Every structure is written in C-alpha cells, then in structure tokens.
Chain A
Amino acid sequence: DGGITQSPKYLFRKEGQNVTLSCEQNLNHDAMYWYRQDPGQGLRLIYYSQIVNDFQKGDIAEGYSVSREKKESFPLTVTSAQKNPTAFYLCASSPQGFGSYNEQFFGPGTRLTVL
C-alpha cells in the first residue's frame, strides 16, 4: 500500500559527524518536504522540493542539505554546521507542488540524537 517511509526510526550520531536521513514515498507525489519538531514547538520547515531536481530553503535551512534526484526520494543531510541537530525530523509529501492547495501526508519520523 502507498505511503511515506522514513528510516531509521531512531538515529544516534557523534557530534561533528554528518548524517543522512532517508525519506521515500510511493504515492507519486510531486512535492516533498522536511520538517523539524522540537519539544513545545510546532513543525518548522527545513527544505522543500516541488519537482524533481529542484528544491528551496525553508525557514531553518542552515546546517542542512537535500537532494531530489528521483521523484520518490528526498534525503536530508544534517551537517556538522547545524548547531542543535537533536530533534524529531518529519518528511512529508503532497500531490502537486505548484498551484492548487494540497494537504500534506507525513511519514512516521526519525528521532536524531547527537551525543
């Protein structure tokens, strides 16, 4: 059945290491998004991509990088430049990137802990 998968569910890394979070969708959605959730805060947009081979910075892009080489995949790299990387990361997708309103569908999330 269709959906969004994020792996792994829990991830531990040492400070100073880059880490890549996986996000895959088989919903044939054009747009994909990465959010970060911290305790007591809403979801904050890191990066989004409305079409393959194109992406834009969200509200908190510093210290992160993404790629969108395939429609179904939108990996997020948390670099050593991200000052507070420990958080819950959520990937989402929506049917169309441009034009009409579309609700976003979320994956189960990856909890990243930097030690």
Chain B
Amino acid sequence: DQQVKQNSPSLSVQEGRISILNCDYTNSMFDYFLWYKKYPAEGPTFLISISSIKDKNEDGRFTVFLNKSAKHLSLHIVPSQPGDSAVYFCAAHTFGFGNEKLTFGTGTRLTIIP
C-alpha cells in the first residue's frame, strides 16, 4: 500500500524554465511533508518542507505547495539550473510516540537540458 506516490518517474525541463514535481498521498494523518534531492550513489539531502497547516512554503528558487483537500503537493523550481538534475523524493512525516517516521515516494528523476 503506497501511501506516498510520485506518478512521474522522470521529467525533462529546459534550463531557465520552471520544473514542477508532483506528489500525492493517501494518509490524512501526515503532519509534515518534505522534499529531498538525491544524486547517484549519495544519500538524499533535505531541500524544503511544509507543515500540514500551511499551503505554501518558499526558499529561494524552491517553492512547495500543499493542497490538503486534494491530498497533493508539488515542488516548483524556478529558474531550473543544470545542477538541479537529480532524483527528487517526496516524503511525509507521521507523528506518534514510538511510531514517528518518514514515508517516501518512489522518486522523480529530473533532467535539466542546457
């Protein structure tokens, strides 16, 4: 049962344009959502997060939007740069004593075309 889904395995975007990565979830108990960026053979690095009580969070070129009614979030990168080429994972946080964890999506490989 995949509670966090990234339905696009890959995405190609021209340099300078906007990249939009999407994520859907099914568990309404998730309290935080995070985006991680991963290069091959490396560990993921944290990019940006959003609380379930907000609908937007911005950090430089990165903006995350949350639509709770649709159980959908998206990551916008603008302008896209070659260094943004990586796999992006959406993750959802569950709070609970003895049961606190992150649930990850399957990832979207973003390729920025120069």
User: Is A bound to B?
Assistant: yes
Contact of B43 (CB < 8 Å), options: A99, A101, A106: A106
Residues B93 and A108 in contact, CB atoms below 8 Å apart? no
Residues A40 and B9 in contact, CB atoms below 8 Å apart? yes
Residues A101 and B93 in contact, CB atoms below 8 Å apart? yes
Residues A43 and B104 in contact, CB atoms below 8 Å apart? yes
Answer yes or no: B74 CB below 8 A from chain A CBs: no
Tell me if A's interface is mostly helix, strand, loop or mixed. strand
- In the assembled complex, the CB of A19 is this many whole angstroms from the nearest CB of chain B, namely 19
Residues A50 and B100 in contact, CB atoms below 8 Å apart? yes
Answer yes or no: A97 CB below 8 A from chain B CBs: yes
Within 8 A of A (CB), among B6-48: 6, 9, 31-32, 34, 36, 41-46
A31→B98 CA distance, assembly (Å): 11
Inter-chain contacts of A58 with B (CB < 8 A) = 101
Residues A42 and B46 in contact, CB atoms below 8 Å apart? no
A108→B39 CA distance, assembly (Å): 10
A31→B102 CA distance, assembly (Å): 12
Inter-chain contacts of A88 with B (CB < 8 A) = 41
Residues of A within 8 A of B (CB): 4, 6, 9, 31, 33, 35, 40-45, 48, 50, 56, 58, 88, 90, 92, 97-99, 101, 103-109, 111
